[in-house]
Amino acid sequence: MISAVAATLVLSIFPANAPPPRFLALGDSYTIGESVAEADRWPNQLVRALRARKAVVADPEIIAKTGWTTDELSTAIDAAKPHGPYALVTLLIGVNNQYRGRDAEQYRKEFVALLHRAIGFAGGDAKRVIVVSIPDWGATPFAEGRDRAKIGAEIDHFNAVAREAAVRTGAHYADVTPVSRHASTDPTLVAQDGLHPSAKMYAQWVGVILAQAEAALQGR
């Protein structure tokens, strides 16, 4: 549970008579929860887990769509015009860059720009931002007949870029990729479409992200 000191800190930043601290989730199919119910999306599951641990946080505001690349997410943010500050911002993007064969250096440039935007939405506080790693879709049935090792290596490369950017800016980094690879031996971790995570896998992601989300809400 969040300590009394931490709870006092949260209340000092977000007074009791103010709306609950806001949560912005930026991403693609993994954040919008393709093939699962809205309640089973990982941002929604994360909010429930935080509340179970006595954290105060609003329902997630999600800017995400299946198939988006980094540049498409940036364009969508321009259109949505989210207004900060948010107490928690998450960023998970890049699988479609990899899937479409885009260059990792292009990804680096566009991802860094997105990360700086995410930090801006968090009131300029990088400690309130969590970069979530790209899962390895090569472990899913959808990748049958493809070069799974190549897919995994490219995902690792893109994730190294994202991790480096997170470390450089002081943002949190949550690595859900190892969990995603369990799909190769546990079919219950994959949704019925054979590609996207099931609610069960998203719950495991929340287990990875939760402690960092608590820290982010406390600005540490």
Does position 4 have pLDDT exceeding 60, yes or no? no
Between CA 1 and CA 95 the distance in angstroms is 34
Provide the pLDDT confidence category of residue 1 given band limits of 50, 70 and 90: very low
Instruction: Give the gyration radius of the chain's Cα atoms.
Output: 17
Helix axes 42-52, 199-217, angle to 10 degrees: 50
Between CA 87 and CA 112 the distance in angstroms is 20
Q: pTM for this one?
A: 0.92
pLDDT of residue 13: 47
For 108-125, what is the mean pLDDT?
98
For 125-130, what is the mean pLDDT?
98
pLDDT per residue over 174-185, tens digit each? 999 999 999 999
pLDDT of residue 2: 45
For 30-41, what is the mean pLDDT?
98
Structure tokens at 111: 């991802």
pLDDT per residue over 8-31, tens digit each? 444 444 455 778 999 999 999 999
What domains lie within the chain, and their CATH numbers? 17-217 (3.40.50.1110)
pLDDT per residue over 38-75, tens digit each? 999 999 999 999 999 999 999 999 999 999 999 999 99
Question: What's the whole-number average pLDDT of the chain?
Answer: 94
Structure tokens at 129: 């931002």
pLDDT of residue 203: 98
For residue 85, whether the previous peptide bond is cis, meaning omega lies within 30 degrees of 0, is yes
- Non-local CB neighbours of 154 within 8 Å, separated by 6+ positions: 98, 104
pLDDT of residue 132: 99
The number of helix segments (H) and strand segments (E) in the chain equals 9, 5
pLDDT of residue 16: 57
- Asked if residue 119 lies in contact with residue 168, where contact means CB atoms within 8 angstroms, the answer is no
